[in-house]
């Protein structure tokens, strides 16, 4: 059985995708993410925590919230993406990055809780 970080998010889905085993996530971030899941239903996490090598290899920002266990990318598009952004702001996420161009499988919303307020598009 999968080790769960919240009722709906497992350690495996939040861990670094390079296979290094890094899997720690900020507890407050996960509570906020669970709150979104409770409101919107299932969310597909494409990137949670990242080690420095994986962050660099994937073109991530050098001071990325992923490196600090306080960020995640969620595969989502269309009306659900708009609802996610709206609810993320209400829950208190401070960083929201929006990538909604191109094929659906490459569309995502980045959420984080770094100590600043930012909204951007990719």
pLDDT at residue 105, as a whole number: 87
For the segment 93-108, the average pLDDT, to the nearest whole number, is 95
**Structural domains present in the chain:** 11-121 (3.30.1380.10)
CA atoms of 22 and 19, how far apart (whole Å): 8
pLDDT higher than 90, residue 1: no
Model pTM?
A: 0.96
Average pLDDT, the chain: 97
For the segment 94-103, the average pLDDT, to the nearest whole number, is 96
pLDDT higher than 80, residue 116: yes
Q: Is the dihedral of CA 105, 109, 114, 116 positive or negative?
A: positive
pLDDT at residue 6, as a whole number: 98
CA atoms of 18 and 21, how far apart (whole Å): 8
pLDDT higher than 80, residue 20: yes
For the segment 16-37, the average pLDDT, to the nearest whole number, is 97
């Amino acid at each position: 059985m999968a080790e769960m970080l919240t009722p709906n998010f497992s350690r495996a889905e939040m861990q670094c995708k390079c296979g290094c085993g890094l899997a720690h996530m900020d507890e407050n971030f996960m509570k906020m993410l669970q709150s979104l899941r409770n409101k919107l239903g299932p969310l597909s996490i494409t990137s949670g925590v990242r080690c420095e090598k994986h962050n660099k290899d994937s073109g991530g920002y050098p001071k990325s919230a992923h490196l600090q266990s306080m960020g995640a990318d969620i595969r989502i598009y269309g009306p659900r993406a708009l609802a996610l952004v709206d609810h993320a702001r209400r829950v208190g996420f401070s960083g929201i990055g929006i990538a909604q161009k191109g094929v659906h499988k490459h569309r995502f919303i980045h959420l984080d809780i770094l100590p600043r307020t930012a909204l951007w598009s990719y």
